[in-house]
Chains A and B, each alone.
Chain A
């Protein structure tokens, strides 16, 4: 366990440095250092602190939020596909953020935007749970998720189309496919508190999720209240996903890929998969964000394009494995 976390931590740290090193003006660490020591707003120092650093930090924050939320939701619902993107929770978070931002309310207080994301994510999660319940089949969950995704996506397009701002409608890609390009430290300050606050209840649910994996009856026997677990996971996921998506838009598949990548390493214990999933999520988003900056695409691709390219095959593989083992009657 410790070894897994340490190795993932080192990997994230390496990717963090690479992320800071990659950019249109190259990397001049020494120049930036001397700029910084001189204490002036010299160009390289400014680029390092105000452009590269927030981008790398957001990669970690958003990746960790999605990875952790994905692992916790999979544990709670005992469902390998429960994940903020697939279930539509990210999409409702984005809708909340879009309503607030394009309505012109984000400037009122710095908290307005992330809070709107959290409210959106919480509504999505509550709706999901109300319809699906904790023991829904994989197929039910996917159907509800598809409906929520379609509805929230269409509503997002509608809100953008109704905005009098001529640029608004063309920003649909950012909200539906995600991006952390050209963000600043102020965006880090928007996302970080919510994500950090959301991590607490999710991590508190560690033991309970392990017990819940043995079934609700057994969990109750072990003194774990499934209702309390549900509350912890919903509140934590809504805070973490809402805060992250309000800044980045919907970045899909991270919450799906990260837990599945590390699950064999933690012997399939949901509680033990939480921290490594957060680290793996951070690594995935950093990796995708570095890749799209290195690709010769002219204009930068949305972040969600890269994560979908990586993540969609994982979904296929899950379906393929389930079908071959004959475990799930729905495939």
Chain B
């Protein structure tokens, strides 16, 4: 089988038996965003091009919602069974993905184990949340933030944080002006980890002097993409970092 989405790659690699996966998405090889990049590098990278997919003759294709109509049509004509899963917007959706991928791969026992360890990790880092909880603001490249219905928002809640963007009624991936961020004076600024060893203007915004002065010391946390971009077992490590940042606030 072949997967074509970074997040689904991770779950498939965690659940599949040796030899079951023959291709993963082309960005799964990147250690900065892909938790299972080592395993992924043993497999050929596949882009969302019909030719590359068909060449591997997959018996199952696991994809996200973002296929072009023409690719969808080609895959249907080629008769490749396809499992389409929407982006996970929290631990609940991730657990659902694990169960469905486990069933599709014929590995229900592995799925139960993975789900149990994820539940256990989440339980370990679950903190009481309420109106008095500290506020965290996510500030990513190009001045973007994550609001409700995102995996990051769900993890923040579990770790006992309030998400500034969600409190403002924002959902999904939306821009937030740096001025608004500074005026809101959140307790913690969560920045992206780097995506490559070369700079970009987009990422330079995260280290703007104004942000550095407003959120000095313990008020900044750099969250690697690989830990919370996707729903999966790696989220437990993200929860640990978020819990640590909460502890640091108290000191």
Contacts and interface: CB of A to CB of B under 8 A. Distances in A.
Is B one of A's binding partners? yes
Interface of A: 23-25, 41, 43-44, 46-47, 50-51, 101-104, 106-107, 163-168, 170-171, 174, 182, 184-186, 299
B199 interface: yes
Interface stretch (B41-49, B148-156, B180-188): B180-188
B195 A186 contact: no
Nearest to A185: B209
A103 B208 CA distance: 20
Contacts of A165: 195-196, 198-200, 203
Contact of B213 (A46, A102, A104, A106): A46
B177 interface: yes
A38 to B, nearest CB: 15
B220 interface: no
B209 A167 contact: no
B182 A163 contact: no
A182 B178 CA distance: 8
B200 A25 contact: no
Interface of B: 141-143, 175, 177-180, 182-183, 185, 195-203, 205, 208-210, 213-214
A50 B195 contact: no
Given A25-B180, A165-B195, A43 B214 contact: yes
Contacts of B185: 43
A174 B197 contact: no
B210 A102 contact: no
A299 B213 CA distance: 25
20 contacts: A23-B179, A24-B180, A25-B180, A25-B183, A43-B214, A46-B213, A107-B199, A163-B196, A165-B195, A165-B196, A165-B199, A165-B200, A166-B195, A167-B195, A167-B200, A168-B200, A171-B202, A182-B143, A182-B178, A299-B175
A24 B183 CA distance: 10
A248 to B, nearest CB: 11
A107 B197 CA distance: 12
A24 B175 CA distance: 12
A170 B144 CA distance: 15
Contacts of B202: 167, 170-171
Contact of B203 (A47, A50, A167): A167
A104 B209 contact: no
Contacts of A168: 198, 200
Contacts of A171: 200-202
Contact of B208 (A101, A107, A170, A182): A182
A164 B214 contact: no
Contacts of B178: 51, 182
A46 B208 CA distance: 12
A71 B185 CA distance: 46
A25 B177 contact: yes
A102 B177 contact: no
Contact of B141 (A50, A107, A167): A167
Nearest to B143: A182
Contacts of A107: 199
B173 to A, nearest CB: 13
Given A23-B177, A102-B199, A171-B200, 13 more contacts: A23-B179, A25-B180, A46-B213, A46-B214, A51-B179, A101-B199, A165-B195, A165-B199, A167-B141, A167-B195, A182-B178, A184-B210, A185-B209
A46 B200 contact: no
Q: Which of A170, A174, A185 has the most C-beta atoms of chain B within 10 angstroms of its own C-beta?
A: A170
B195 A46 contact: no
B200 A102 contact: yes
B28 to A, nearest CB: 14
B179 A166 contact: no
Contact of A164 (B143, B175, B197, B208): B197
A184 B209 contact: yes
B210 A50 contact: yes
A207 B190 CA distance: 56
Contacts of A174: 201
B64 to A, nearest CB: 17
Contact of B198 (A23, A25, A104): A104
Contacts of A164: 196-198
